[in-house]
């Protein structure tokens, strides 16, 4: 797993403290929370996955890049929509992955 240096947070989230990110890196994930990931391939703009699934070896060792954290699935969907709106507002386009690449150029492994 790779965490973007800049993490998007759902409306219920607070600014992440270094300790919280360390906990996530150590795989002590909050129960019931969701993460937004950059997809490996396919037509999806963002993937939404329950954070507990990141503990599985197939996901833990995949090198997936986490760009957002939300408390609930509904909040994760709202966050994905907010990211897409921000991309359009900031760039005038719809290339979410390029925008996230620019924000996450200094990813935190």
Q: Note if the pTM is more than 0.85.
A: no
pLDDT digits (tens, 9 = 90+) for 15-64: 555 555 555 554 566 778 899 988 877 667 899 999 888 888 887 777 77
Q: DSSP characters for 6-33?
A: EEEE-TT--PPPHHHHHHHHTT-PPTT-
Burial class (CB in 10 A: 0-12, 13-18, 19+), 10: buried
Q: What is the pLDDT of residue 80?
A: 92
Asked if residue 77 has pLDDT above 90, the reply is yes
Residues 26, 6, 44, 10, CA torsion sign? positive
């Amino acid at each position: 797993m790779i965490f973007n240096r800049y993490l998007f947070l759902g409306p219920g989230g607070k600014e992440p403290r270094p300790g919280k990110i360390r906990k996530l890196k150590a795989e002590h994930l909050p129960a019931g929370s969701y993460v937004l990931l950059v997809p490996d391939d396919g037509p999806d703009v963002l993937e939404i996955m329950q954070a507990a699934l990141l503990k599985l070896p197939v996901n833990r060792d995949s090198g997936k890049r986490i760009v957002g954290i939300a408390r609930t699935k509904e909040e994760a969907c709202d966050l994905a929509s907010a990211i897409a709106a921000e991309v359009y507002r900031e760039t005038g386009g719809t290339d979410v992955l390029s925008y996230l690449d620019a924000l996450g150029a200094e990813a935190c492994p």
